[in-house]
Amino acid sequence: MARPMGPVRLRRTNYVTLTIGAFLCLFILYFLVHDGSNVPISTSNSPNANLPPILKPATAKSKLIGDRPPVRRFNLNNVTITPDPIGNQEVVLILTPMARFYQEYWDNLMRLDYPHDLISLGFILPKNKEGNAATTSLQAQVAKTQKGPLKDRFRSVVIERQDFDPPILSQDEGERHKIENQKVRRASMSRARNSLLFTTLGAETSWVLWLDADIIETPPSLIQDLAAHDKPLIVPNCYQRYTDPETGKPAERPYDFNSWQDSPTAQEIAAKMDPDDIILEGYREMATYRALMAYMADREDERDVEVPLDGVGGTALLVKADVHRDGAMFPPFPFYNLIETEGFTKMAKRLGWSATGLPNYKVYHYNE
Amino acid sequence: MVIRATIMTLTSLLTASIFSLGLAGSTTEILMDTVRYYDLSNVQGTARGWEREERILLCVPLRDAEPHLRMMFSHLHNLTYPHHLMDLAFLVSDSKDRTLEVLIEMLEALQAHEDPKQPYGEISIIEKDFGQKVNQDVESRHGFAAQASRRKLMAQARNWLLSATLRPYHSWVYWRDVDVETAPFTIVEDLMRHNKDVIVPNVWRPLPDWLGGEQPYDLNSWQESDTALALAETLDEDAVIVEGYAEYATWRPHLAYLRDPYGDPDMEMEIDGVGGVSILAKARVFRSGVHFPAFSFERHAETEGFGKMAKRMQFSVVGLPHYTIWHLYEPSVDDIKHMEEMEQERLAKEAEEQEKAETEKKIKEHFSDPNNQWEKDKSELQNIAKQASADQKQGSKKNSKPKGEDTDSADSQEERAQRSKKAGAEDGAKVVDARKKSNPVKAES
């Protein structure tokens, strides 16, 4: 094992190692130089001075000491909310809390014939496995659309991830429908809606359309049709298509029972209730005898029939932006024993805004 | 070996860069210029937000605030929280003065400031007129009857401002009134350090000495009391309980009255209603839907309703009784009346004194001549008397001088008699003369 003294003899040069080394060097240099911030900086030199603030570069890193952002003015006296939203170039903000991504939802959204450059989209998704999957699918569609033909591109898109965990509910049907669980679920839903609403509602927005991620079919003129009624809150009837198991023929049934007119019975129940409890529709132990819009659909041809409502559902709901600006939000706590969209209706009422329903104007919910 | 070492360093570098890549990936991703992605769990708000580059939205509602703008901008210049991390949002509503013009001017000057640390982040001015009928002057502003509708309108204005400017990248929202006169430069950090969902300092105002020097100003920060809860039960759905009025005796512990000037400024107190002069709140409070009720929420509106609603959603609402900022003193109508009375009193007194001084002067003018004359005469007479006695002395000296010369003593006797007679006559003439010119006479003598 005797070895001659002196410098360690270099073994035969291993070209493979060298190549790997060189490759690694290049790889590392790439990451050292590339700071991940070469994203396009948005240009807000549009003639429209009322550009939404969200179009500005928004990360903390992008605003450095020495930056001198301009003073920007937004005159909300000039933001119109009229029955002719297209003619007056009114911006609509479509807000969707999303747990699962349905391609049919996106396709329906793309079919809306309201000018897309007047539509801003806002999404909020939970930060769980399902939410991650939905985000990925959503981002793919958004990217495709915003790189696609100009007329399809939306004004702006904001995708948000929730900062709170959705309640973990048992998938057991009975467990899921327990009143206490419903309260927790809808409180969480309210927070998601509010978070999305108050971070995306811009100075330019005229209308807010709440559209659930499982609404897969609406008339393409949904926005114009609803806006034409010139109501602060207006909600179409939400139905579901299914195949009748007996006849095997396609049929439809009411889906959303949260749009209703109040009844003396329901008010009596509320009067006796603890302020922390909520009244829910569709529970035998709590017969409210409210008039539900779901059962008011009678004439297919009279889509414009209006009914006054005391509670609305949020599957599809058009709201004048001023209602939200005044502070009307989705209470995540029992508000007059009501929660989420029904509590929202009550709060809007307290602020002097009324709700209207269109029993014969239908939108359709996904059927699992 | 060399290669192995290189590879070793390379791998460590590689892991480092992967690590930094992971960090970069976790921050906001931007797809295209119209698409934004935000993870709201990155904007929760922490106790040391300035280190984590947390963005603050500073909201200031303004109405006819032109006289106060200069003062507000001096505060803005002095705030120590990194300016580039603060977005400014102003609501200018129903203003009849030059609030908007002056505001724009001063903001542009601020953004063009030579010190690169002075300019703020995004700056938005929201204009919206609500057609408010309620006057902003101190009396009608603080009158009991106008409170409910005034507070509801104020609430509406605040909600409009916030909903138009709150963005998904804000971690904190700081509400600040324009008429704060004195506040620590570090107020944002001071409040933030407590890491509460909603936090307010104590608000006092300085007073003129005749009113006691200082006074609690903001009575809207309080702890709920059983009396007030019972009172709320009896009130109409649309009624609004307001503090500081005899009409509603609530017996609530007020943050303002608990102040001890030497107390620990970090001491916290749980409160239920908050005042709006200076509120620091985590943005997530507003994101979850807490706002300033423009309706009667649990018999409260605006900032007090905000406190109530935040509590309803289980957020922490805290006041600092011994950390005080000072609101501008604007005299009330009564104060102004009182001050006018005091001023009149002062003027009357001054006039009286002046009159007195004048009459005195007049008297002096009228009667000082004879006095002077008297004094002069007196001094003249004294002079004469002196001279006379001096002459006498001289005479006696002359007599005594030539003691040895007896020869001419008789002559001198005669001469002396004559001389004194002459002198007497001369002196008489001299006295008359002296009235005209006393100096030459003296020289002569």
The answer, for A202 touching chain B at a CB cutoff of 8 Å, is yes
Pairwise CA distance, residues A185 & B95, whole Å: 45
Could you tell me the CATH number of the domain that includes residue B102?
Answer: 3.90.550.10
Indicate the DSSP class of residue B408: T
Q: What is the DSSP string of B281-315?
A: EEHHHHHTT----SS-BTTB-HHHHHHHHHHHTT-
Q: Do A198 and B159 touch (CB under 8 A)?
A: no
Pairwise CA distance, residues B39 & B166, whole Å: 15
Region label for A103, one of left (φ > 0), alpha (ψ between -120 and 50) or beta (otherwise): alpha
Is A278 contained in some domain? Answer: yes
Top-confidence range, A169-183, A232-246, B372-386: A232-246
Task: Specify the pLDDT at position A158.
Answer: 95
Residue B413's pLDDT band (boundaries 50, 70, 90)?
low
The answer, for B5 touching chain A at a CB cutoff of 8 Å, is no
State the smallest CA–CA distance between residue B183 and chain A in angstroms.
Answer: 24
**Residues A311-344: tens digit of each pLDDT:** 999 999 999 999 999 999 999 999 999 999 999 9
- Picking from B6, B15, B32, B154 by the largest number of A CB atoms within 10 A of its own CB, the best residue to mutate is B32
Radius of gyration of chain B (CA): 43
Is B178 contained in some domain? Answer: yes
Size of interface A-B (CB pairs under 8 A): 234
Tokens matching residue B194: 């407590």
Tokens matching residue B360: 């005195």
Q: If you measure CA to CA, which chain A residue comes closest to B155?
A: A326
Name the helix (H) or strand (E) containing B370: helix B333-400
Please list, in sequence order, all residues whose beta carbon lies within 8 angstroms of the beta carbon of residue B395, skipping any fewer than 6 positions away: B416, B419, B420
Is A198 contained in some domain? Answer: yes
Is residue A310 within 8 Å of residue A347, measured between CB atoms?
Answer: no
Comparison of pLDDT for B33 and A249, the residue scoring more: A249
**Residues B242-265: tens digit of each pLDDT:** 877 777 778 888 898 889 989 999
Please list, in sequence order, all residues whose beta carbon lies within 8 angstroms of the beta carbon of residue B311, skipping any fewer than 6 positions away: B272, B317
Is A50 contained in some domain? Answer: no
Count of C-beta atoms within a 10 Å radius of residue A87: 10
Torsion angle, CA of A254/A258/A260/A263, rounded to 10 degrees? Answer: 120
Task: Specify the pLDDT at position A38.
Answer: 42
Is residue A213 within 8 Å of residue A100, measured between CB atoms?
Answer: yes
ipTM of the complex: 0.82
Pairwise CA distance, residues A111 & A117, whole Å: 14
Percent of chain A with pLDDT over 70: 85
Q: Is A277 exposed, middle or buried (0-12, 13-18, 19+ CB in 10 A)?
A: middle
Is B350 contained in some domain? Answer: no
Task: Specify the pLDDT at position B342.
Answer: 85
Residues B162-180: what's their mean pLDDT?
Answer: 95
Asked if residue A29 has pLDDT above 60, the reply is yes
Residues A125-133: what's their mean pLDDT?
Answer: 93
Task: Specify the pLDDT at position A5.
Answer: 56
Is residue A232 within 8 Å of residue A354, measured between CB atoms?
Answer: yes
The answer, for B44 touching chain A at a CB cutoff of 8 Å, is yes
Is A290 contained in some domain? Answer: yes
Top-confidence range, A24-33, A199-208, B7-16: A199-208
Indicate the DSSP class of residue A12: P
Sign (positive or negative) of CA dihedral B92, B97, B100, B102: negative
Pairwise CA distance, residues B435 & A141, whole Å: 121
Is B425 contained in some domain? Answer: no
Task: Specify the pLDDT at position A302.
Answer: 85
The answer, for B312 touching chain A at a CB cutoff of 8 Å, is yes
Asked if residue B428 has pLDDT above 50, the reply is no
Sign (positive or negative) of CA dihedral A16, A21, A25, A27: positive
Task: Specify the pLDDT at position B24.
Answer: 39
**Residues B205-245: tens digit of each pLDDT:** 988 887 778 888 888 899 988 888 888 888 888 888 887 77
Count of structural domains, chain B:
1
Count of structural domains, chain A:
1
**Residues B87-145: tens digit of each pLDDT:** 999 999 988 899 999 999 999 999 999 998 999 999 999 999 987 655 555 555 566 66
Q: What count of Cα atoms within 13 Å lies in the side-chain half-sphere of residue A255?
A: 24
Is A64 contained in some domain? Answer: no
Is B139 contained in some domain? Answer: yes
Spell out the SS3 assignment of A54-97: HHCCCCCCCCCCCCCCCEEEEEHHHCCCCCCCCCCCCEEEEEEE
- Strand blocks (E) in B167-295: 170-176, 180-182, 198-206, 214-216, 269-270, 278-282
Is residue A100 within 8 Å of residue A208, measured between CB atoms?
Answer: no
Residue A229's pLDDT band (boundaries 50, 70, 90)?
very high
Q: If you measure CA to CA, which chain A residue comes closest to B92?
A: A75
Percent of chain A with pLDDT over 90: 60
The answer, for A131 touching chain B at a CB cutoff of 8 Å, is no
Is B379 contained in some domain? Answer: no
Q: Do B124 and A72 touch (CB under 8 A)?
A: yes
Residue B252 domain boundaries: 37-330
Is B73 contained in some domain? Answer: yes
Pairwise CA distance, residues B72 & B102, whole Å: 12
Q: How close are the terminal C-alpha atoms of chain B, in Å? A: 128
The answer, for B165 touching chain A at a CB cutoff of 8 Å, is yes
Is B7 contained in some domain? Answer: no
Instruction: Average the pLDDT over each of A37-51, A164-178, A221-235, B315-329 and give the range with the smallest value.
Output: A37-51
Q: Do A326 and B35 touch (CB under 8 A)?
A: no
Is residue B176 within 8 Å of residue B319, measured between CB atoms?
Answer: no
Count of C-beta atoms within a 10 Å radius of residue A208: 23
Smallest Cβ–Cβ distance between A59 and the set B6, B27, B286 belongs to B27
Please, what's the b/e burial string for B277-312 (b: 16 or more CB within 10 A of its CB; e: otherwise)? bbbbbbbbbbbbbbbbbbbbbbbbbbbbbbbbbbbb
Could you tell me the CATH number of the domain that includes residue A332?
Answer: 3.90.550.10
Residue A235's pLDDT band (boundaries 50, 70, 90)?
very high
Task: Specify the pLDDT at position A293.
Answer: 92
Residue A295 domain boundaries: 81-365
Residue B42 one-letter amino acid: N
pTM of the model: 0.76
Is B258 contained in some domain? Answer: yes
Tokens matching residue B169: 């990248």
Task: Specify the pLDDT at position B330.
Answer: 80
